[in-house]
Structure 1
């Protein structure tokens, strides 16, 4: 019991230190990412092992996608390593082709191992053309596996756009200041 209190106190202190090191905008994004994680886990229990067992993950709580022939996507997210928020990420995508509509989604990228996470943090990470996310839909089973050390899930929030591709997405990473 005493040990549990110490562990809880240490976790609270770590969260507090992280919160003070972040700007107000980063704190808001961190809150949004935490809410997105809670929503995803509540709706899709099969995501729990991905959150628990991955080396890290990025939660983009609100990615805007839109297009009419020429399209794009953009969003900001929080990067976690071993369950602890360590920095922020940006997502950008420009595409040309048959597309029409607009959509807001949540996107989560899981990194199976330290090497995959390191590649993301080092800026050596980009999805190849043709890569798609597993689209999370209410009442549907989650069947996904890591591919090349990465698993990607997207959950529509609003809008209609028949496009689950994540190919061509480019990412940026910035560590939180200590």
Structure 2
């Protein structure tokens, strides 16, 4: 049993270090993030009109245009995004995620968080914000129309960009908010 643990632990820890250091957006300047967010919004709006309407009707939203995720049993994801209130840019956000489960692979995706109420947006802007592992997210696929489910005034949408990942995992996301001064 000790040999098994020793032989498995080292590769898993090495992979975790690689995954944690390589996840996330490669562009981190505010101009790059803003441009990528505009492109992500246009991509989603063009192919999913029911979600496009939420950009106009929500109190606020956060766009993470380049979330990177990698996993081998332990998964990690991160990304940088832009935060909007009533359609106006009010700040930037970073997202980190760690999860555990039967999973392997890597992928990149767009994630948008919509805030239905001012109270929900204020909770996000308060500093550290977390979405629990049981938060429901709508996965946007080409040609498929889906409604966004809101819980406590928050709805999450993801759209795959590239990569392949398989598995089942449990985890949560943590966000930091930096207001424009």
Q: TM-score range by the shorter chain?
A: 0.7 to 0.9
Shift in Å at residue 166 of structure 1?
8.6
Flag as ranges the 4+ runs of structure 1 deviating above 6 A: 163-166
Q: How does 1:135-154 map to 2 (within 5 A)?
A: 135-154=139-158
What 5-or-longer segments of structure 2 have no aligned partner? Answer: 1-27
Q: Which residue of 2 aligns with 1:99?
A: 103
Return the alpha-carbon distance in structure 1 between the equivalents of residues 153 and 99 of structure 2.
Answer: 25
Q: How does 1:6-155 map to 2 (within 5 A)?
A: 25-155=29-159
Return the alpha-carbon distance in structure 2 between the equivalents of residues 164 and 120 of structure 1.
Answer: 27
Change beyond 3 A, Cα 1:69–1:163:
closer
Shift in Å at residue 118 of structure 1?
0.5
Q: Which residue of 2 aligns with 1:3?
A: none
Return the alpha-carbon distance in structure 1 between the equivalents of residues 70 and 101 of structure 2.
Answer: 12
Structure (1 or 2) with the greater strand fraction: 2
Shift in Å at residue 94 of structure 1?
1.0
Equivalent residue for 1:171, pick from 161, 169, 175: 175
Change beyond 3 A, Cα 1:52–1:144:
same
Return the alpha-carbon distance in structure 2 between the equivalents of residues 164 and 98 of structure 1.
Answer: 5
Change beyond 3 A, Cα 1:57–1:165:
farther
> Over the residues paired in the alignment, what is the CA RMSD in angstroms?
1.8
Shift in Å at residue 161 of structure 1?
1.6
Shift in Å at residue 167 of structure 1?
4.8
Q: How many residues align?
A: 154
Change beyond 3 A, Cα 1:164–1:28:
farther
